[in-house]
Amino acid sequence: MASFSGIADSRNFWLLNLLLGLCLILSIAGCDSDYAKSSVVANEGRLGSSTVSELSLLFRLGKPVSDREVAWDGRIEYASWVDDESIVYLSRGNVTCISTKERRVQWVIRDVGKIKDWSVSRGAKRLAILTDNFVTSVIDCGRGKVVFSVDSNRLAQVLKLDYVTPTRIAISPTDGRLFVCSYSEHFGRNGYIVDPSCTTLISTFAVDAAPRKLLVSQSGRRVAVVAGEDVLCVTDLNEDREVFFQGSRVRENSGARSRSIDSPFFSHLRDNDGDELVYSLDNSWGTGEVFIHNIATKKIQTFDGRNGHIELDVSFANRRVVLTGTSADLTVLDFVGNVIAEKKNAAMDRITSVEFSPSEDRILIGSWDNTLAVFSMR
């Protein structure tokens, strides 16, 4: 036993300390590695959440009313940008134009009646409206003057028809041509294009039965239609051909058709004059879906619409979608569905209108809570 107290003992002691030191170093290195990994994950989580900015309120017109029964008469039914410095909206049966800089009323056209459809041409600075009693009117937004207003009988004369029942209207963003859809129970050439003077029929185009949405593309070359429950159609007017169709086309009268209350239906369709489309499947008071559809590659990206009764606008240039609806939250997403910016409870009640400004740095909303609001994207 005494031999262990000699050179061998000192050598073993040295080896033992070396092994213990190595173990300690490896242990510390492992802990540091785990800490580094956990730190990256935590930082990534913080970075991911910090990229979602809050939309800031620039101004709100009107006093929010939370009681829907009290607010109902003063609700904002439609609201649109005319240009970056002026907005038109409908409330209490009056069309009002306000300045976004001076925050004051520029003009009011009173007692226009209940509106069935509404469309603004930023290029021509005109507003087209269709009332429930089938009066079609065009307003010069620069002067606040009605330049054209006809009932269905006079409109039929312009369209060279015996009679017409206008159900949807739109106005070209570029030159102010007026687009009118006449009611029909089947697919046919029931769409009409009138010149900017609103006196001469230019051409016709095919429309599906019971159109619910009509939108002219930014170039004025294409028209997008949502019809029935499931029909989506985009038509190239210059070539008179469909570039996209989806759904069940009705080619002849088939009697009364009905759908279940609150069943899902397509609610919006936006076209970029190219291969990309954005459309929404509304689930009424439930949560709907948004589709980004490339018609050339047939690739479809879908994401949660975050709302029922979806209201949306699309910036194809920046690849952004702004969503709102029954939740009264305002959310800006990219075309993959990532949230870019948001504003919780942007209004006290359902939001009925939403639009990017022409410069796409602001967002306009109108709500059932009696208010109009503008939020900054910056």
Domain spanning 263-378: which superfamily?
YVTN repeat-like/Quinoprotein amine dehydrogenase (2.130.10.10)
321 and 312 Cβ atoms separated by less than 8 Å: yes
CATH topology for the 86-247 domain: Methylamine Dehydrogenase; Chain H (2.130.10)
CA–CA gap between residue 60 and residue 255 (Å, rounded): 47
Q: How far is CA 168 from CA 116, 171, 190, in A?
A: 8, 11, 11
Asked whether this chain's domains 86-247 and 263-378 adopt the same fold, the reply is: yes
Secondary structure letter of residue 255 according to DSSP: S
Q: Which residue has the tokens 């009611």?
A: 183
Domain ranges across the chain? 86-247, 263-378
CA–CA gap between residue 295 and residue 218 (Å, rounded): 18
Secondary structure letter of residue 55 according to DSSP: P
CA–CA gap between residue 184 and residue 162 (Å, rounded): 14
Per-residue pLDDT 10s for the chain (378 aa) are 433 334 344 444 444 444 444 443 334 344 333 323 333 222 222 333 457 899 999 999 999 999 999 999 999 999 999 999 999 999 999 999 999 999 999 999 999 989 999 999 999 999 999 999 999 999 999 999 999 999 999 999 999 999 999 999 999 999 999 999 999 999 999 999 999 999 999 999 999 999 999 999 999 999 999 998 799 999 999 999 999 999 999 987 665 555 566 688 999 999 999 999 999 999 888 899 999 999 999 999 999 999 989 999 999 999 999 999 999 999 999 999 999 999 999 999 999 999 999 999 999 999 999 999 999 987
Q: Which residue has the tokens 């089938």?
A: 134
Q: Which two tokens stand for residue 283?
A: 């689930």
Other residues' Cβ atoms within 10 Å of the Cβ of residue 83: 16
176 and 196 Cβ atoms separated by less than 8 Å: yes
Torsion over CA: 243, 267, 322, 63 (sign):
positive
